[in-house]
Structure 1
Amino acid sequence: MKVLAIASIGGHWVQLLRLKPAFKDSELVFMSTKQSFADTVKGFEFHCIPDSNRWNKFDLIKTFVSVYRKIKVIKPDVIITTGAAPGLMGVIIGRLMGCKTIWVDSIANVQKLSLSGRIAIRFANKIYTQWPDLASGKIIYNGKVIS
């Protein structure tokens, strides 16, 4: 099984790396918004994409196109992300292409899911929160990535 793991910089990337052992029996491919992160996943395929956020619509389009092109080439069976915008795009594109998709909301979101997480509910096959109080319906609590 080929798993594409996507995350933006900062805490999103740190939390994604904490999930790496869960995919030890899979072909794991990483995607992020900073080329130097390839050094943190030596031995794994790595793809760099442009960063974007909701404040710059043009950058969102560039990121969407880049993520789409890379997913089309990588052909993952599963896409997992810890956010933010580039990960959400991966979930949306992946779902439309028939991939299984997993959203793990950031541990920083204590009172409610992130904006991207709230959008991901509509697209991801599985949504995980790292806070038991936020679990309900489609949102699953199964422990914390960072403890």
Structure 2
Amino acid sequence: MKILAIASEGGHWVQLLRLTPAFKGQELSFMSTNPDISATLKDYTYYRVPDANKGTKFKLIHCFFHVAWVVFRQRPKAIITTGAAPGLMGIIAGRLIGAKTIWIDSIANAEQLSLSGKIARYFADRVYTQWSNLATNKIYYKGNVLS
């Protein structure tokens, strides 16, 4: 199965990489905001997209078009993300092509879902939290990535 894994750099990226063994045997590619990351992913296709956040609204639009271009061109069967904005853009674009979409909220969000996670609830097929106290009937807890 063709899977696109998306995360911003930093903690989101570290958490996403911890999931890589779960996709053994699949056609996995990655997307992030740091051009230097590609050197660490020799066995995978890597797409760099511009970074954006709620404070850079015009960059969010630019980011969405970059992410959507890759999603529409590659047509992954599933998109998984640990956040933040580029992952949310991937979830939205993925829904437009009928891909299965999974949002895993960052372990750093212990008190409430991240802003992107709150938005992702409306677009993602599945939303996971890494904190049991944040689980609901629509937000799932199955443990954490950084155990």
1:143 corresponding residue in structure 2: 143
1:4-48 Cα offsets, whole Å, 9 max, x none, are 000001000000000001100210000000111112222100000
1:144 partner letter: N
Could you say which residue in structure 2 is the equivalent of 1:5? 5
Cα deviation, residue 63, structure 1: 0.3
Secondary structure of 2:68's partner?
helix
Alignment of 1:78-97 (within 5 A): 78-97=78-97
Structure 2 residues not aligned, in runs of 5+: none
Q: Does 1:125 align with 2:125?
A: yes
Aligned counterparts, 1:56-95, within 5 A:
56-95=56-95
Deviates more, 1:115-124 or 1:40-49: 40-49
Name the amino acid aligned to 2:14: V
Structure 1: unaligned runs, 5 residues or longer: none
For residues 52 and 88 of structure 1, the distance between their equivalents in structure 2, rounded to whole angstroms, comes to 11
Partner SS, residue 6 of structure 2: strand
Paired AA for residue 13 in structure 2: W
Matched, 1:101 2:101: yes
Distance 2:123 2:71 in 1: 16
Identity of paired residues, percent? Answer: 59
TM-score, normalised via structure 1 length: 0.98
Corresponding residue number in structure 1 for 2:55: 55
Instruction: Quote the RMSD (CA, aligned, Å).
Output: 0.7
Rounded to whole Å, the distance in 2 between the matches of 1:68 and 1:32 is 13
Q: Cα deviations across residues 65-116 of structure 1 (Å, max 9, x unaligned)?
A: 1001111111100000000001000001101210000000000000110000
The separation in 2 between residues aligned to 1:32 and 1:12, in whole angstroms, is 10
TM-score where L is the length of structure 2: 0.98
Deviation beyond 2 Å, 4+ runs, structure 1: none
Q: Secondary structure at the match of 1:117?
A: helix
Deviates more, 1:94-103 or 1:35-44: 35-44
Structure 1 CA distance for aligned equivalents of residues 113 and 38 of structure 2:
28
Does 1:116 pair with 2:137? Answer: no
